[in-house]
Structure 1
Amino acid sequence: MGQQSLSIEEFNEKLKSWTGKNIKITKREINDLDETVMALTSVSYTNNTRRIDDYVPEHSLMLNGEGEIENEDDEMEPLPAPIYEIPLNDEAEYSFNGTSFSLKTDRGTYSIEQE
């Protein structure tokens, strides 16, 4: 199955169906690759209408659950908080290929798959 473009509503609906599952989040930025594994307990969104600058995103996808993140030494360590935040913008692209989600923003590309 190829990549299927999704609306934010379709993305949200499908991702919420993974609640209770173990997921792996891979973030790709310019010269950076991070991996996080977590037990997804819920999916939520935030709106930050009182932004001081563009560094703070207007919207964020919040993946809630306990997990581990890969550090600079390629070792896994506990997440500092039981949440993984993905900053969103209005131009974000959402897709699903049957086994993993892809989310492209102005800051990077994220893939979410079941562990």
Structure 2
Amino acid sequence: MAQQFLSIEEFNQLIQQWNGKTIKVTKQEIGDYDETVLRLNAVSYDTDTRRVDDYQAKHKLQLSGDGTMLTDAANTQPLPNQVYEIPIEDSTLFQYDDERFSLTTDRGSYTIELITE
């Protein structure tokens, strides 16, 4: 299965089809790794026009649902506010290989995949 690059609109159409399903989000940033498993209830986007600095992303992908996070320290914690946020930028690359999404930003990479129940 070859990876295909997607526009944000194509990504949104495909990820919306996963509503009601259990997904795993893996984040890899410099010095930080975590996994989150959640039952996806909604996909939305947020724009922050009042950023204090460039570290905060202007846009965020928000994956809402009940879930838990596994952090570097191998601790499991409930997902804060039942929302997992992924910073997205104009330069974010969206890829899909029929099984998982890969998002690559200047900060790191994120993988979103279905968990078979």
* 2:54 alignment partner in structure 1: 54
- The structure-2 alpha-carbon separation of the partners of 1:33 and 1:71, relative to structure 1 and needing over 3 Å to count, comes to closer
TM-score (norm 2): 0.93
Runs of 4+ in 1 over 4 A off after TM superposition: none
For the residues of structure 1 that align with 2:41 and 2:99, how far apart are their CA atoms?
19
Between the aligned residues of both structures, percent identity stands at: 50
Are 2:9 and 1:5 equivalent residues in the alignment? Answer: no
Which secondary structure state, in structure 2, belongs to the residue aligned with residue 81 of structure 1?
A: helix
Distance of 1:29 and 1:78 partners within structure 2: 20
Structure-2 separation of matches of 1:75 and 1:83: 18
Aligned to 1:73: 73
Q: How many residues align?
A: 115
Preserved CA contact (<8 Å) 2:46 2:59:
yes
Q: 1:83 — aligned with what?
A: 83
Cα offsets for 1:56-79 (capped at 9, x unmatched): 211000000010001343132211
Residues 58-111 of structure 1: per-residue CA shift (max 9 Å, x gap): 100000001000134313221121000001111000010000000001111000
The alignment's TM-score, normalised by the length of structure 1, stands at: 0.95
1:41 has 2:44 as partner: no
Mark the runs of 5 or more structure 1 residues left unpaired by the alignment: none
Q: Is the 8 A contact 2:51 2:58 kept in 1?
A: yes
Root mean square deviation of aligned Cα:
1.0
Q: Cα deviation per residue 1:2-51 (whole Å; 9 max; x = unaligned)? A: 11100000001100100000000000112322100000000000011122
Gaps of 5+ in 2: none
